[in-house]
Amino acid sequence: MSFTIRFIIILFLSATVIDTQSQNADQIFKAAGSPANPKVAISWNHYNDHGGITEICKKIAAAYPELAKLESIGKSFKGREMWCLTITDFKKGDPEHKPGIYIDGNIHSNEIQGSEFAMYTAWYLTETFKDTKFIQELLADKVFYIVPTINPDGRDSYFHEPNTASTPRSGVIPIDNDRDGMVNEDGYDDLDGDGEILLMRRKSNNGRLRVDPADPRRMIQVGPDEKGTYEMLGLEGKDNDGDGQVNEDGYTFEYDPNRDWGWGWQPNYIQNGAYKYPFSLPENRNVLNFVMKHPNIAAAQSYHNAGGMILRGPGGQEDVGTYNSQDVQVYDAIAKKGEELIPGYRYLVVHKDLYSAYGGELDWFYGGRGIYTYSNELWTPYLMFNKDATRDPQDNASYQFDRFLLFKDAFVDWHEYNHPQYGKIEIGGFKKNFGRAHPGFLLESDAHRNMAFTIYHCYHTPKLQVDTIIEKDLGDGLKEITAVISNQRIMPTHSSQDIKFNIERPDYISITGAKVIAGMIVDNPDLNIAREQKNNPATIEVSNIPGLDEVTVRWIVQGSGKYTITVDSKKGGLSTKSK
Amino acid sequence: MRIRLLTLLLCTTFLSSILVAQTGYSDYAKQTSRLKSIANANASTTKLVSLGKTSGGKDIWMLTIGTGETSSHPAIAVVGGTEGSHILGTELAIGFAESLLQNSNSDSIKAVLAKTTYYVFPNMSPDAMEQYFAAIKYERLGNASVTDDDRDGKTNEDPYDDLDGNGKITWMRIESPVGEYKTHPDDPRILIKADITKGEKGKYLLLSEGMDNDKDGVFNEDGDGGVQFNKNLTYKHPSFSPGSGEFPVSENESRVLLDQLFELFNIYAVISFGTNNNLSSPVSYNPAAANQRIVAGWLEADTKVSSLVSDLYNKTGGGKDAPKTTAMGGDFVSWGYYHFARFSFSTPGWWPPKAKPDTTKKEKAFTIDDASANFLRWSAQQGINDNYTDWKAYTHPDFPNQKVEIGGIDPFVMSNPPYKLVGDLVKNILISLLNYQHFNPQ
Amino acid sequence: MAKLTLVNGQTIISGQTNKAIDTIEGYGTKQLTWVIKGNGKVKLDVGSPSTGSKSIDISL
């Protein structure tokens, strides 16, 4: 017995050493696909409050100045900085001219792990850059804009105030929910003072619940012919304002930050949770300003929890036509790969498979900016035993998982409490870190898988190249120059939504160093069908360069000599070729 | 809600002496000084604050009028300048405040101010409105934000051009076999659309005055003039159309106004001035629109209030011949009802009255009704003859070998009356607004 | 149908000698462009069975 105890202590100590400082490189044998001896030592099995996020972001930026830059995109309602890490190979090309992916997390206060997943991405890209050719090429071509939390006030409030796994969803701007002139006067109460809002139960002869004989922590519904022994009294709390209601005006649901975006926005009486007008929440406005300043963002991911889903819009039924078949093909191709990369996650459409909601973030990114955007709902009970679990009340997988893999760390056992209104009750239940958030040992692995999906997503932003240049002598000092511009990835330079509303300017294909007599877009090179551009023929404007496809342009130029052809696309980047 | 009509009498008695100083529409600087004078002269009953600045650096003013605990009295918001070309609206809003406060010592007005609060936002489009006072006048709606109106990737590359150098942007008519316009049979100065269903053939293309500066085949489609306040709000925002802004409430003036209004729970009605008109003819009840998930029609009970208000307006202000309008989305009057959930009314304040044919000049009733033809006839009867620029030939490089003439009705004149009429219009507005306070929830 | 007739030494760099036009709306126009190398005049015939045809000479 004493031997075992000592053994555990030794293991524990060595784990601590790994967490806090790098080892001598000789002692490490690299595991495939992970940075062997990272400069920034972080363990990805816990959560970080805003202070923690700030630390990690600063460390990454300090350790890799040529790969990571840290800026604040603005302050939250309470004045916390909203950090953004820009990750790219700053030595190769101008970041503003590289196709980009924007990644954020934590828009809902209790949906926390998106922040860790986002930071893991920044950490992984910087730490593996040295050894991994794919990452080097990726960061030469692309830029990642990573904002770990777009709701830092809510995050800290979730961690540091008594809460459930589901509260608070909104940020912390005070609102009088019950319109009685007082704000947040009757929220949850942490009656037993353990920092958790749990469940309240009371013995009752007419209750419809009894204790599960297989696991006394668990309450089960009795059948119609049975008698129960307990009744549930809801979440931990009391009637603070003496109005006969318990917990009716807390800070936990003031408004929904994900109903505050400027595409298909509807007011609160139609869309519950909407605030005053699109981007009326300061945090969302900061994101808006950032995105408007970075038109090179072609892809976006907004991490939520939970359920194991890769979601795309539309959020509202009325917007179905906005997502047309060409764009849905792009969405499908990338998300189907995501389903392979992240076992247990399913690719779904918000309005059809979940619920109809207006003014969501992903709708604005796509509808308002033409950016291909997903929201991953992180964590699924599937990950507990690598098989489908259900939310069926008879399914006790959560209890089994907690008992055999977490050693009952996720549950507070039922204990007695003397309640001012209800009398003798018992308080107990799962802690707020269980049910929606990943347990520690699964956090890194699922972060990695979701990151792999965002890397695939980013990889398939447009990659443009001036492919072939064909010259033909027309005599009399005239020359015909035909250039083929290819896009080697799935995404077009302009989504259909973008083309429909001319959201982003056309792509410019220009020739410099030659005297241009005429310029044209060649619609069919074989049959020689072309459209002339009369105005400014040296810079041909192309409305789109489709994915895995090409466009052909042609100039008639006078004289000979060297010239350069450049393709300049806001979302497709920059590429040149000289001849 | 109870309605009492006794104030009608009381108001008209003192209104004759107001508004002596003004001789013309006020530009932004003059508007500001008038507002400051009001506030200085009425320190106990008014408060003037700037809510913030437009992209052009101009203040959005808010004048609170009332006594005592103003934030707990029923309140009416009065909003002018919802459209930059509607200078009259700002004049009415400031004029309302001036004329109301001129008699603030009278018992009747004291009583009104003790129980009703007026929040006056006189000009929501100060950037655009300055164009009326500029060297080259045109009906500008957009603020000073730089926008790409035709969304071609270039900003402000094809503005109007004052080709004939008269300081006004008017019209160009181009003789063309594919023209859609012909001259009005009763007034050759006016162009109207040829009715091809009746076998008519057009003779002219009609375009606004200018060059195709960027040679894209479209004229004057992207000039100075950014986002329009009356197209920037959330109800049916026409995203990506010219002047709407990239997303709803993108502009600072929109934001500061809405932020302020959302704080003022005591407001129960919003009266705005602009080309939209739902005041002279009541809003009708459309059950299908009112009951859809995204509510698009007034609720039945509210349409009843609308009829009462219209009746009052027509009795006092005279809604005769008022133009029928359809709100175009992103507009303020729709926002006020659908997204601010208050009674929301808008009036142009003035429109050209129907002119009767002058028999001494052997005029006959128009064979084809046309607002411009009516306007010129009305103007002539008022002795106003400077509303119009005669068509004059112009050699236009974009139309080689084609006859181009520049002329037509001048900007602004059809929605902003001669200034001498403004005094009476202010009187009407004051009476109407004082009447509305009897709708105060009690 | 728009038909371009070229004479000695003229060559089309962009555009088709025979270009079919789907439809021209009433009181409508269609713009066609050709890039031609050479001197002199080219003849352009435009017409459809329902309208008859029209011919113009264009000086280069």
Alpha carbon B98 to chain centroid distance?
Answer: 20
> Shortest CA distance to A263 belongs to which of A297, A288, A286, A281?
A288
Chains in contact with C, counting 3 or more C-beta pairs less than 8 Å apart as contact: A, B
Q: What angle do CA B299, B305, B309 make, to 5 degrees?
A: 135
Each domain of chain B, given as residue ranges in start order, spans: 7-131+226-351+418-439, 158-223+355-409
Residue-wise pLDDT for B251-296, tens only, equals: 999 999 999 999 999 999 999 999 999 988 889 999 999 998 889 9
Strand duo B187-193 + B181-184: pairing: antiparallel
Q: Does B196 touch chain C (CB under 8 A)?
A: yes
Which of A273, A327, A337 is closest to A497 using CA atoms?
A: A327
Q: Which residues of A touch B262 (CB under 8 A)?
A: 276
The alpha carbon of residue C25 is apart from the nearest alpha carbon of chain B, in Å, by 10
pLDDT recorded at residue A432: 96
DSSP SS3 for A380 = coil
CB contact at 8 A, A430 and A398: yes
Percent helix, strand, coil in chain C, to 5, is 0, 50, 50
Q: Which of C35, C36, C60 is the mutation pick for testing A, counting most A CBs within 10 A?
A: C35
Question: What's the mean pLDDT in A233-257?
Answer: 86
pLDDT of B15 higher than 50 = no
The per-residue pLDDT for A327 is 95
Residue-level pLDDT at A176:
65
Contact B352, B371 (CB under 8 A): yes
Interatomic CA distance for residues B25 and B22, integer angstroms: 8
The DSSP output letter for A186 is: B
Count CA atoms within 13 Å of residue A153 on its CB side: 19
Q: To the nearest whole angstrom, how far is the Cα of B221 from the nearest Cα of chain C? A: 20
A414 three-class SS: strand
Top-ranked range on mean pLDDT: pick from A9-23, B28-42, B354-368, C45-59: B28-42
More confident residue, B88 or A169: B88
For the segment A336-340, the average pLDDT, to the nearest whole number, is 98
Is the minimum CB–CB distance between C18 and chain A shorter than 8 Å? no
Determine what percent of chain B is predicted with pLDDT higher than 70.
95
pLDDT of residue A180 exceeding 80:
no
Predicted local confidence at residue A179, as pLDDT: 59
Q: Is the pLDDT of residue B82 over 90?
A: yes
d(CA B423, CA B429): 10
Asked if pLDDT for residue A441 goes beyond 50, the answer is yes
Enumerate residues 6+ apart whose C-beta is below 8 A from A315: A264, A350, A351, A356, A357, A358, A359, A360, A362, A363
Interface of B with C in 149-188 (CB under 8 A): 178, 180
User: What distance in Å separates the CA atoms of residue A170 and residue C58, rounded to the nearest whole number?
Assistant: 70
Contact B234 A277 (CB under 8 A): yes
Alpha carbons B386 and B409: distance in angstroms, whole number: 9
Query: What's the rounded mean pLDDT across residues A235-253?
Result: 84
Instruction: Say if residue A174's pLDDT is above 60.
Output: yes
> Are the C-beta atoms of B244 and B228 separated by less than 8 Å?
yes
Out of 3.40.50.300, 3.40.630.10, 1.20.120.1690, 1.10.10.60, the CATH code matching A34-158+266-376 is: 3.40.630.10
The residues near A83 (Cβ < 8 Å, ≥ 6 apart) are: A53, A54, A57, A70, A71, A72, A73, A147, A148, A149
Q: Per-residue pLDDT averaged across A349-370, rounded?
A: 94
User: Would you state the pLDDT for residue B9?
Assistant: 35
How far is the C-alpha of B69 from the C-alpha of B89, rounded, in Å? 28
Average pLDDT of span B10-25: 54
- pLDDT tier, A290 (very low <50, low <70, confident <90, very high otherwise): very high
Q: What is the mean pLDDT of residues A309-319?
A: 92
Answer for the pair B317, B431: CB distance below 8 angstroms, yes or no. Answer: yes
Separation of alpha carbons B261 and A364, rounded Å: 25
At residue A251, the pLDDT reads: 66
Instruction: Name the nearest CA neighbour of B432 among B273, B274, B302.
Output: B273
CA distance B301 to B239: 31
Alpha carbon B76 to its chain centroid, in Å, reads 19
What is the average per-residue pLDDT within B221-234? 95
Cβ proximity of A269 and A363 under 8 Å? no
Answer whether C27 touches B (CB < 8 Å): yes
Instruction: State yes or no: ipTM above 0.85.
Output: yes
The answer to whether the CB atoms of C14 and A520 lie below 8 A apart is yes
Q: B178 CA to chain C: closest CA distance, Å? A: 5
Chain B: closest CA distance from residue C26 (Å) = 8
Question: How many cross-chain Cβ pairs, A to B, lie less than 8 Å apart?
Answer: 66
Task: Work out the average pLDDT over A168-177.
Answer: 82
Residues of chain B contacting C26 with CB distance shorter than 8 Å: 196
Average pLDDT over residues B298-316: 88
**Tens digit of each residue's pLDDT (9 = 90 or more) over A458-482:** 999 999 999 999 999 998 899 999 9
Q: Where are the alpha helices (DSSP H) in B116-219?
A: 126-129
pLDDT in tens, A51-91: 999 999 999 999 999 999 999 999 999 999 999 999 999 99
Length of chain A: 579
B249 DSSP assignment: T
Both structure tokens of A164: 């459930």
Q: Give the pLDDT mean for A203-231.
A: 92
pLDDT classification of A25: cutoffs 50, 70, 90: confident
Confidence of residue A409 (pLDDT cuts 50, 70, 90): very high
Give the per-residue pLDDT at C20.
82
Residues of chain A with Cβ-Cβ distance to C14 below 8 Å are 518, 520, 528, 530, 532, 554, 556
Q: Are A77 and A102 in contact (CB under 8 A)?
A: no
Q: Is residue A1's pLDDT more than 50? A: no
Of A475, A478, A518, the CB nearest to C14: A518
C28 contact B CB<8A:
yes
pLDDT bin (cut points 50, 70, 90) of residue B5 is: very low
Which carries the bigger pLDDT value, residue A290 or residue A251?
Answer: A290
Which one of A520, A523, A535 would you mutate to disrupt binding with C, by most C Cβ within 10 Å of its Cβ? A520
CB atoms near residue B269 (< 10 Å):
22
Residues B324-356 pLDDT 10s: 888 999 999 999 999 999 999 999 999 999 999
DSSP one-letter code for B359: G
Considering CB atoms only, which of A262, A266, A501 is closest to B294? A266
- Chain B residues within 8 angstroms (CB to CB) of chain A: 148, 151-154, 214-216, 233-234, 237, 239-240, 246-250, 255, 258-259, 262, 293-295, 338-339, 341
Structure confidence at residue A18 as a pLDDT band (50, 70, 90): very low
A368 neighbors A497 (Cβ within 8 angstroms) = no
pLDDT of the residue at B172: 97
Record: contact A518-C11, CB cut-off 8 A = no
Tokens 């764009």 belong to A327
**HSE-up of C55 (CA within 13 Å, CB side)?**
7
Strand order in the sheet with B117-121: B46-53, B59-65, B117-121, B75-79, B267-273, B343-347
Supply the DSSP string of B231-259, one letter for each residue. GSSSTT--TTSTTS-SSTT-SHHHHHHHH
**Domain boundaries defined on chain A:** 34-158+266-376, 175-250+380-435, 464-578
Q: Which CATH class, in words, describes the domain spanning A464-578?
A: mainly beta
Structure tokens at A388: 């489908």
CATH of B7-131+226-351+418-439, one of 3.30.420.40, 3.40.630.10, 3.30.70.1150, 3.40.50.300: 3.40.630.10
